[in-house]
Structure 1
């Protein structure tokens, strides 16, 4: 019985590692594959865990929820917003417009997936946990560098600030 299990595992790894990939590369590629999930008539590119675009709240509705939250509060939701900034290094985070000059900093659960680096101005739907946090000066400077800000702009960051965060387990990017 043990030999059968080992044989099956070997076959799975052989077929998963086509084109000379290692098992880890094959798993990562599967995780990052893009697929379509149209539900409400909008075509999307999907990243991360699958979800649909039904019962999505607006960015202004989420902004109102954030206004009533204290540091460390969380709420599970999915919302639609416009991307204002994205990590230029890997696409490992993005900022979404909430309105009235507010933004939500979106990171991806367990860094399990990334988004394209050229999606500023595009509409997305994100699914996950909204939370309020206090961002340190070091973290603000790190994200400012990733976002491509100049050293003069980064030097202006001098104190921690209350931020609206979001850990997304899935992202739907509206097709152009």
Structure 2
């Protein structure tokens, strides 16, 4: 009987002490960012210049997994279904969202972190005209698009936009 009371006392003590334990909330790493698509973190991201260097080493058909930070230049004003981000020396990358599974706000701006796959593509005239139309370019500007263009591109599965 004494053994049973001792075990019960021990269990009760553990329960009381664990009930008094104060839960400490960990700060949420991404709380200053709005998240779109898959949940991603800030850890392991490259800076813009690092991504620009990696793009420079890619050839058409190459694909690499990436997570990098940049600044938003432009967002599709119709739906937020694509965006253009800064690289270095005036270059930019076209960012689309995996399977059109999510969009970003049409007025998004500022710092962005994206994770997905990067590649270099030869964008057809038809697509260039489509994106120019989405961006609100004039008919004259769209008519001047007559050649395919080598483009740095990212298919993002997750995006964080700094608030």
Question: Which bin holds the TM-score, normalised by the shorter protein?
Answer: 0.7 to 0.9
Alignment-derived partner of residue 153 in structure 1: 141
Distance 1:47 1:142 in 2: 24
Matched, 1:112 2:101: yes
Alignment-derived partner of residue 102 in structure 1: 91
TM-score by length of structure 2 reads: 0.80
Q: What value does the CA root-mean-square deviation take over the aligned residues?
A: 1.4
In the TM superposition, 1:1-176 aligns within 5 A as 38-39=28-29, 43-120=32-109, 122-175=110-163
Helix, strand or coil: the match of 1:99?
coil
Misfit runs of 4+, over 6 Å? none
Unaligned 5+ segments in structure 2 are 1-26
Number of residue-to-residue matches in the alignment: 137
Q: Quote how far apart the aligned CAs of 1:64 are.
A: 0.7
Contact 1:39 1:54 in 2 (8 A): no
TM-score by length of structure 1 reads: 0.75
Distance 1:45 1:87 in 2: 18
Helix, strand or coil: the match of 1:57?
coil
Unaligned 5+ segments in structure 1 are 1-36
Which digits, 9 at most, give the CA deviation of each residue in 1:95-139, with x for residues without a partner? 00002121110000011100000013x111000000110000110
